[in-house]
Amino acid sequence: MSSRLEDLPSDVLLYLGRFLPGRLGLPLSKHILSILGTPRSIAERALWRYGAPLCLAVEARRKDDAALEVVRSLLGIESVKRTINTTSIDTTSDEPTCIGTALEAAATAGNAKTVSLLLDHGALATDKHELCDHETCIFVERFEESLNGMPSRALIAAVEERRPGVVRLLMDAGADPTLGDGEALKEALMYGGDIEILRIILERIKDPNFVDNIPPYGTSAMSIAVEYGNVAGARFLEDWLALHMINFTMDAFLAQALRRGTL
């Protein structure tokens, strides 16, 4: 009984292709290329190259539609899915860096569909994962002692990168913008932050005069807007009836405003 070479299983063809370059014929070469381009094949190679959980975070931050299907394929691998809330260290660069969970990677890239897929498969919007031993995580872990709880790093990443759709997705899934002494609200006001994100957060907090407990104590949303010269943000806060002066260290607040000429 005879059979065509291209009818062999994909993994067998790929294995043979390592030893018979240029000898399989153009139609078969195209067939192998089509196999290499399938989400399953890409997912398997990503797992082989990066291991779990890094493979999931790497694919989650890619911006093309094909990457979404690769993430879906990776989530179908039990060893990968078990690490969905594990922090990843990217060791492929000269200096290993912490890139967070797959959810944080997807949120940073603004991949709303990937964020939604990860949430559906058990990713925690609260981002309550164990911190790794990377120096950034160690700093954050120590800093947590002065906060009212650890903020969702995926939420903070989405705010910093101005991804309003992702911010809403994460908050609907349980990410609390008041944790970390309102870090999400502060980030939305810094560096001329996104007004739509500010609106989404205030709709959830419902308090434009929310203050933190970090020295110099009592820093408000309005004082952040003034310090960073965010005129649009300050006007938006006024529409929400935010007080002009709500800071327990008023002299510091006034000094910031006068120095920047934004009072």
Q: Quick one: pLDDT at residue 113?
A: 95
Mean pLDDT is lowest, of 61-65, 66-70, 92-96, 202-206, for 92-96
| CATH code, residues 40-175 | 1.25.40.20
Sequence ranges of the chain with CATH classification 1.25.40.20: 40-175, 179-263
DSSP assignment, residue 152? P
- pLDDT for residue 135 is more than 60: no
Mean pLDDT of 90-100: 76
Q: What is the pTM of this model?
A: 0.75
Quickly name the fold that domain 179-263 has: 1.25.40
Residue pLDDT, tens place only, 50-79: 888 899 999 999 988 889 999 999 999 999
Q: Which pLDDT tens digit goes with each residue over 28-54?
A: 566 666 666 788 888 888 888 888 889
Strand partners, 8: none
